[in-house]
A and B are shown apart, each in its own frame.
Chain A
């Protein structure tokens, strides 16, 4: 890669003080240890690991929803680590994050249109008509009918709500979209449809994804580059196919083993 990466994380560290639990002595828990990764624009990096491995913490630290202890996060050439919140605001337009339960964060009193247009209101972009038009477009982009724009967000199914959450993130035309278990909990068919949509969007726009999941099968469908996390470290990274065929780390091997297999199929994962 000759062009400078869109996102470059260098030596990121973060630790928590553990809550008091009778089963464990209170301690300082390292959540992220020396995380270094790069992501070029228009590409996808899939981050896998089991729950508690630090994937979500990393996502939150990159998006500055949490402060890391040390290290650097360069996004489009700027180090986000010590930016003032005021300087962060324009950057948030370019770096959006979608969570597993993003959809539950939508105010149930809002219609789909209002929910999707809200980020434009917050960032004070365009005037009313323009915002409305852009929200309708975004709803269409994620594969929902325009006619549904005036329904309450409560009337949408789980998969449809996740599409709404996606529309909300896309409406600001970000350059990087972090999807933190954004498709977990949806059924396979819905997962496949939305991941196809993500591919199509990447073709249309110059969009980079940091896709976080615990599901290797889904990971292999979404991207080609993989990083495996365990206990706050990136223990293995490389092309998905190579890791699936020959996992080097225990963590990767456990994830490969945990893939539910249809009898008589090899772990080639052409889902």
Chain B
């Protein structure tokens, strides 16, 4: 298999003021292009883990120990400037509510261009072109979307824009944190279909966070179940989850 894309060893996360141990020696790895499910009830620390992987937990509030290696590069000890270049470019996060993840005063196109600008030295034309390509890749090829304020988009369209934003810089690892919790079931099915297509065409590795194991079908046979801060490797469709 070679060196894994993401290697997490003995990750512990503690909330400093309350002293609560959110994660307790969690270890897992993820190969290039592979998908891993992250299951568990709400409050199990799934989203906290996701934010820790991008080193987005403010160190004043959270104590994070252990190691997180991406391509052999230790994310926990890297200087902030290095980390910022990784964040979004190599490892990216799509959160729960697309309604809230988009800036209400910027147009769709600008929001995608902003991410490109953060990582690539591009001319304005190149940037625009790549942003349009990213929108087309998520099924929004109509150039009118580019100039549209986000208020004019439906929930499903916003979800797609968020994906375009995350994938415009071609990251190697996409973390999905309950990506469909805010859309209806039909939109959910469409978004999942799109995600499968994107994973195949971009050779994306996915860390798929959800409380519903059925969403992982077609994505992976391998999942991590978080419970009381401990992680347990499970088959997402095995007996361990029948009761949840």
Contact = CB atoms under 8 A, between A and B. Distances in A.
Contacts, number: 69
A188 B211 contact: yes
Contacts of B148: 22-23
B32 to A, nearest CB: 24
Nearest to B244: A189
Interface string B176-191: 0000011111111100
Given A51-B183, A52-B154, A260 B41 contact: no
Given A187-B211, A188-B244, A258 B186 contact: yes
Interface-centre pick from B186, B215, B244 (highest chain A CB count, 10 A): B186
Pick the most buried of A21, A22, A262: most chain B CB atoms within 10 A of its CB: A262
B214 interface: yes
B144 A215 contact: no
A93 B244 CA distance: 36
A23 B183 CA distance: 21
A174 interface: no
A266 interface: no
Contacts of A214: 184-186
Interface string A179-200: 0000001111110000000000
For the residues of A in contact with B, the DSSP-based class is loop
Contact of A23 (B144, B187, B188): B144
Nearest to B40: A187
B181 A23 contact: no
Contacts of B43: 157
B192 interface: yes
B227 to A, nearest CB: 12
Contacts of A157: 42-43
Given A22-B152, A23-B144, A215 B42 contact: no
Contacts of B244: 188-189
B42 A159 contact: yes
Contact of A262 (B41, B183, B217): B217
A135 interface: no
A21 B186 contact: no
B237 A259 contact: no
Contact of B237 (A21, A23, A255, A263): A263
Interface string A259-271: 1111110000000
Interface string A236-254: 0000000000000000001
A187 B186 contact: no
A260 B212 contact: yes
Contacts of A264: 237
A185 B186 contact: no
Nearest to B243: A189
Contact residues on A (Cβ < 8 Å of other chain), bracket: 20 to 34
A257 interface: yes
Contact of B192 (A52, A217, A260): A260
A188 B185 CA distance: 14
A172 interface: no
A259 B214 CA distance: 9
A23 B143 CA distance: 11
Identify which of A23, A51, A189, A261 gathers the most chain B CB atoms within 10 Å of its CB.
Answer: A51
B109 interface: no
Contact of A50 (B42, B184, B192, B212): B184
A40 interface: no
A234 interface: no
A189 B243 CA distance: 9
A143 interface: no
B217 to A, nearest CB: 5
Given A52-B154, A258-B189, A260-B192, 20 more contacts: A21-B152, A22-B144, A23-B144, A23-B148, A23-B152, A50-B184, A51-B183, A51-B187, A157-B42, A185-B182, A187-B41, A189-B244, A214-B184, A214-B186, A255-B186, A258-B185, A260-B188, A260-B215, A260-B217, A262-B213
Interface of B: 41-43, 144, 148, 152, 154-155, 181-189, 192, 211-215, 217, 237, 244
User: Across chains A and B, which 10 residue pairs bring their CB atoms closest together, nearest first?
Assistant: A214-B184, A260-B214, A187-B211, A258-B189, A258-B185, A50-B184, A51-B184, A258-B186, A187-B42, A50-B186
21 contacts: A50-B184, A51-B154, A51-B155, A52-B154, A157-B43, A159-B42, A185-B181, A186-B42, A187-B41, A187-B211, A188-B212, A189-B244, A257-B189, A258-B188, A258-B189, A259-B185, A260-B188, A260-B215, A262-B217, A263-B217, A264-B237
Interface of A: 21-23, 50-52, 157-159, 185-190, 214-217, 254-255, 257-264
